[in-house]
Amino acid sequence: MFEILNQDTFFRLAQGLKVTLELSLISVLISLIGGVFFGILMHSKNKILYAFCRFMLEFVRIMPLIVWLFIVHFGLAKWFGWHLSALGSSIIVFSIWGVFEMMDLVRSSLSSIPKHQYESGLSLGFNKFEVYLFIIIPLSLRRLLPMSINLFTRIIKSTSVIYLIGGIELIKVGQQVIELNLFQNSYAAFVIYGLILLIYFILCYPLSVYSKFLEKKWS
């Protein structure tokens, strides 16, 4: 039953895990930078900027990630003559999705700060920039960090769909290992998918626990 768990299997799964982590880390980094920028714009009192950001958020959210992957990889790439790998297309899609999800988290965190915090900062002699830098941003981070960690775990788990556009990540490698061993080991699917489940659990569960810890600590 467990003969399938040999050195070659672990090596191949490690290669797939590397792709999963690369995609996740790059997407998370871009999401952080872009999400903070657009979140601040969305929080501004400019109605045009708010309307644009809200429209883009709903536009991105309205379709499943897999549909966006198909559009970018099989549609836009051919239309513009781009030679995108599955990983390249996935980074584009997950980054755009992550940026707008992060944007909404930043906006909600900034909006949750009571108005008297702004007024208190101004009454102490701070200008608007200093109020944001020393009061609003530190308070917002306490609300933002737990939600951001949850978003990052969603990104990690969602990377499993990129095999549908040819991405050789953890799930796809697992399928290849199963296909190679299915006739010799009837439990191949159970063992390999069980191992993949364990890998995702090890990646995501500590982040989830830490997120809940921060949420409880700062509530």
The answer to whether residue 1 is domain-embedded is: no
What whole-number distance in Å separates Cα of residue 7 and Cα of residue 83?
34
The answer to whether residue 44 is domain-embedded is: yes
CB 104 within 8 A of CB 57: yes
pLDDT tens per residue, range 29-75: 999 999 999 998 998 878 999 999 999 999 999 989 999 999 999 98
pLDDT tens per residue, range 101-112: 999 999 999 888
Residue 194 sits in a domain whose CATH number is 1.10.3720.10
Tell me what pLDDT residue 5 has: 82
The pTM score is 0.89
Q: In which domain, by residue range, is 42 found?
A: 7-218
Write down the H helix ranges in the chain.
7-43, 47-61, 65-70, 77-80, 86-111, 115-123, 128-131, 137-158, 170-181, 188-218
The answer to whether residue 118 is domain-embedded is: yes
Our CA dihedral for 9, 12, 13, 16, rounded to 10 degrees, sits at: -170
pLDDT tens per residue, range 115-127: 888 878 888 888 8
Residue owning tokens 């102490």:
124
Tell me what pLDDT residue 103 has: 95
User: Is 94 a residue whose pLDDT tops 90?
Assistant: yes
Q: How many domains does the chain have?
A: 1
